[in-house]
Structure 1
Amino acid sequence: MPAPKSPLHHPDPAFATTLAHGLALLQCFRVGETVLSNKELAERTGLSKATISRLTYTLAV
């Protein structure tokens, strides 16, 4: 399994960090993977479990 990526940080205040985090979640999926747990997403992105939970909830509704 690859090492977790660092959470996304950007010095520009115009940068939409939440959007970047959501896109990072979508990039976690690989060919043939249809389901990933929040734990797997946290490991792959380096984001906190709480952040993953909020993002997956928002993306699912």
Structure 2
Amino acid sequence: MQITVNGKPMRFDGVLRLSEFFEHQQINTAAIAVAVNGVVIHRENWHEHRLNHDDSLTIIQAVAGG
């Protein structure tokens, strides 16, 4: 399966849920928002949402500062 993450293509074998993607990529999910194909996926649905071939993920990370 191929997906695009913030404009960069990535390949994975088999079925992958959004929460598994974050674990696999060791992404700290404490302060992020994610959209799949332009649709925001709420945090409570990450463990259910299955990624599909050619999905496009946009991951936005909050940054503290002033």
TM-score, normalized by length of structure 2? 0.33
- Higher share in strand: 2
TM-score, normalized by length of structure 1? 0.34
- Higher share in helix: 1
